[in-house]
Amino acid sequence: MRVAFAPYVLKFRNPAGTSRGVMTEKPTFFIKLYDESEPSRFGIGECSVFPGLSPEADGRYVYKLMELLANIALGRDTDLSRHSSIRFGLEQAIRDFAGGCRHVYYPSGFTDGKKSIEINGLVWMGDFDEMISRIDEKVSAGFRCIKLKIGAIDWKKEVEMIEYVRKRYSDSELEIRVDANGGFPLDSALARLKRLADLGVHSIEQPIPAGNAELMAFLCSVSPVPIALDESLIGVYGRDDKVALLDEVSPAYIILKPSLCGGFSGAEEWISLARERGIGWWVTSALESNVGLNALAQWTATLETSMPQGLGTGGLYTNNLRCPLRLESDRLRYDADAPLTDDEYSQLDWRE
């Protein structure tokens, strides 16, 4: 067996505001697994690295991919325990190749076109008027759960925005999740959590920065709004470390991003440990291209959950690759009749 990889830069359709600044592009790497005797048939995956968030996103990343290529050619194992994004992509490529190179990674009623996944409507950071407009668009499109990225504008303005939403849509009409990306000041976090609870917010992701386990544990024990861990899971690799984190912090939820928390296998371990402790969870995409998003949605569809998932829709980028995923209202569906073609992949700059 052989592996090749190709770098690719995804271009945002509109600048994406995050708590870490505004993004206009995002690098990623595609990976393919093939047999030398028939190189035209290959399994495809995406190593969706996230600069500024992925611990492995450094100057040595490409060398790790080169090490993987060499080891697979020689039949050796590669230690990917600290390279979640590469494990994420390799697991996709292996499953695709084993399944006949049809880009069906996790066969189910979803890939047969018979089932769908409810997702939340993500509202990106912006100024007050922009975010209100985006919220109204999501609700008009049929979303019953929205996720607001907060932390980019003044806290009072963000409260005002959520108040506006609540005056128009009750708890039963619209579930509001917020994601602070660790942006709350430590000395005012609890007061802010209480205010969000008053506004009927369903949950908040990562109110304070990762690495503050003791304070996060305290907030989880007293917060009137359920807290979900997101960035706190990144860089926690071993099972014992995962157990220690969950037992110490005891969050209401954990957010699973396989490209950041150990690939699909690592995320499944998080799910198992969370279920043992009565901790809820949902899956969230992490700005993958349609390649990674397709595999992520297929995997999510096999999990036993009825909560809205945080999956993207592939419309963020101007140069995304084709994909069989389709959005209908707030349901993500797989078009089983979509034609399969690998012509886009042949144009990539493959390194072998």
pLDDT digits (tens, 9 = 90+) for 280-322: 999 999 999 999 999 999 999 999 888 999 998 778 899 999 9
What's the CATH code of the domain at 62?
3.30.390.10
What are the φ/ψ torsions at residue 223 (nearest 5 degrees)?
-65, 135
11 is catalytic: no
Phi-psi region of 77 (alpha: psi -120 to 50; beta: other; left: phi over 0): beta
Kindly report, residue by residue over 42-86, the tens digit of the pLDDT. 999 999 999 988 999 999 999 999 999 999 999 999 999 999 999
Q: Which of 26, 64, 147, 257 is catalytic?
A: 257
The whole-number pLDDT of residue 19 equals 58
Domain residue limits at 254: 117-334
Catalytic residue among 149, 156, 157, 194: 149
Q: Specify the CATH number for the domain of residue 317.
A: 3.20.20.120
Q: Which pLDDT tens digit goes with each residue over 80-131? A: 999 999 999 999 999 999 999 999 999 999 999 999 999 999 988 778 888 8
* One domain, residues 212 and 277: yes
Residue 139 and residue 19 in one domain: no
Is 17 contained in some domain?
yes
The answer to whether residues 317 and 288 touch, using CB atoms and an 8 Å cutoff, is no
**Bridge-partner residues for 34, per DSSP?**
2, 42
Quote the number of domains for the chain: 2
pLDDT in tens, 133-168: 989 999 999 999 999 988 767 899 999 999 999 999
83 and 192 both lie in a single domain: no
**Ranges of H-type helices in the chain:** 61-74, 84-98, 128-141, 155-168, 189-198, 213-222, 239-249, 263-276, 290-301, 343-346
- Tell me: do 42 and 121 sit in the same domain: no
Instruction: Looking at the structure, tell me whether residues 79 and 212 fall in a common domain.
Output: no
Known active-site residue 149: yes
Report CA Rg, the chain.
Answer: 20
Q: Is 80 exceeded by the pLDDT of residue 20? A: no
Dump pLDDT digits (tens) for 249-287: 999 999 999 999 999 999 999 999 999 999 999 999 999
With respect to residue 108, please indicate whether it lies within any of the assigned structural domains: no
Map residue 100 onto helix, strand or coil.
coil
Residue 110 lies in a domain: no
Please indicate, yes or no, whether residues 164 and 207 belong to a single structural domain of this protein: yes
